[in-house]
């Protein structure tokens, strides 16, 4: 059976092991509703017009009975019900534990994401950040006057079962996004940043106006898996659209020193597939290689 989890049953959270080695369907899923933190601190979903973010798993039906018998796992007012769970690769009917709005008193979690809520509360002094679009490019940071905060680069990061798309569309074309696609592999650049850099990223990515949302992914760097690395994902996705040339250059230039040759070729092929002229891509690559040769 399928279950949608949104609180302490999520991956790397303290009760996740109670799902007993579930099969992952989606790590970036959502249902319609709102997320509330009651006075006892155990998050609970209820009906509403926002989104609650979580994960979708296939579990053995016997796990449900065990969860219901564990008081600290399921909120007191929550009951087992069914909801439509939306993922990047389709919608599913799944079991979810939720409460009616009349039964719940507490504070609204604006992000709809328990991981984000705890991250913002803790405000760690250091955070690992996975960049996959124009934030791979140091020139953009220099223009914004924040490059000093992005000097601690851990190198190339690899994320399994996701890919980079240009599905955030503005007036002049597409911008980078992360889409969950089983079997795909994407690469990017990982920085270790301070809280000032995190605040800048939240502003740059338009978290408050609802352009992108913070999310957490497992990222592999030099064979080591780093858990819950911060990144940003588009909230309202559009069909993939060719990006403007200046944005494409930032991605090709920023990724070039770090990602694999095969992935860099994949980024070029992606632009070709979206309609960019091959000659323009060659011109951009010449600019990228010119930066490599510049002794400054």
pLDDT band at 292 (very low <50, low <70, confident <90, very high): low
pLDDT at position 294 over 60: no
For residues 171-178, give the mean pLDDT.
98
Domains of the chain (ranges; CATH) run 2-121 (3.10.490.10), 125-293 (3.10.490.10)
pLDDT band at 296 (very low <50, low <70, confident <90, very high): very low
Please name the residue that has the structure tokens 């219901």: 68
| Angle subtended at Cα 179 by Cα 211 and Cα 289, rounded to the nearest 5 degrees | 90
For residues 12-28, give the mean pLDDT.
96
Q: Which tens digits make up the pLDDT trace of 131-154?
A: 999 999 999 899 999 999 999 999
pLDDT band at 100 (very low <50, low <70, confident <90, very high): confident
The per-residue pLDDT for 217 is 98
Q: Which residues pair with 220 in a beta bridge?
A: 158, 225
87 near 31, Cβ under 8 Å? no
For 259-284, letters b (16+ CB in 10 Å) and e give: beeebbebbbebbeebebeeeebeeb
**Residue 152 token pair:** 């601690």
Pairing of strands 90-99, 44-58: parallel
- Verify whether residue 196 is a known catalytic residue: no
- Smallest CA-to-CA distance from 25 within 181, 217, 226 is with 181
Residue of 55, 180, 205, 250 marked catalytic: 205
End-to-end CA distance of the chain: 58
Q: Which tens digits make up the pLDDT trace of 118-134?
A: 999 999 999 999 999 99
Within 8 A by CB and 6+ apart from 99, the residues are 36, 44, 45, 46, 75, 77, 78, 79
């Amino acid at each position: 059976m399928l279950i949608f989890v949104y609180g302490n049953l999520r991956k790397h959270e303290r009760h996740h092991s109670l799902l007993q080695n579930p099969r992952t369907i989606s790590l970036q899923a959502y249902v319609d509703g709102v997320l509330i933190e009651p006075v006892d601190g155990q998050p609970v979903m209820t009906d509403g017009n926002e989104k609650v973010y979580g994960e979708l798993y296939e579990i053995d039906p016997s796990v449900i009975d065990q969860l219901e018998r564990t008081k600290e796992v399921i909120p007191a007012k929550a009951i087992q019900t069914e909801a439509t769970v939306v993922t990047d690769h389709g919608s599913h009917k799944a079991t979810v534990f939720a409460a009616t709005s009349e039964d719940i008193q507490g504070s609204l979690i604006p992000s709809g994401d328990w991981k984000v809520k705890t991250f913002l509360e803790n405000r760690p002094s250091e955070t690992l950040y996975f960049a996959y679009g124009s934030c791979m490019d140091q020139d953009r940071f220099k223009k914004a006057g924040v490059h000093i905060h992005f000097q601690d680069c851990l190198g190339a990061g690899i994320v399994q079962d996701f890919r980079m798309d240009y599905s955030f569309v503005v007036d002049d074309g597409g911008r980078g996004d992360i889409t969950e696609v089983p079997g795909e592999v994407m690469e990017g650049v990982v920085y270790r940043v301070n809280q000032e850099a995190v605040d800048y990223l939240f502003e740059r990515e338009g978290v408050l106006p609802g352009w992108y949302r913070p999310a957490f992914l497992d990222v592999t760097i030099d064979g080591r898996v780093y858990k819950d690395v911060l990144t940003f994902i588009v909230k309202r996705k559009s069909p993939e659209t060719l990006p403007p040339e200046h944005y494409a250059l930032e991605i090709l230039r920023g990724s070039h020193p770090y990602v694999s040759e095969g992935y860099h070729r994949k980024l070029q092929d992606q632009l070709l597939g979206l309609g960019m002229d091959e000659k323009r891509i060659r011109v951009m690559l010449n600019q990228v290689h010119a930066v490599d040769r510049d002794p400054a």
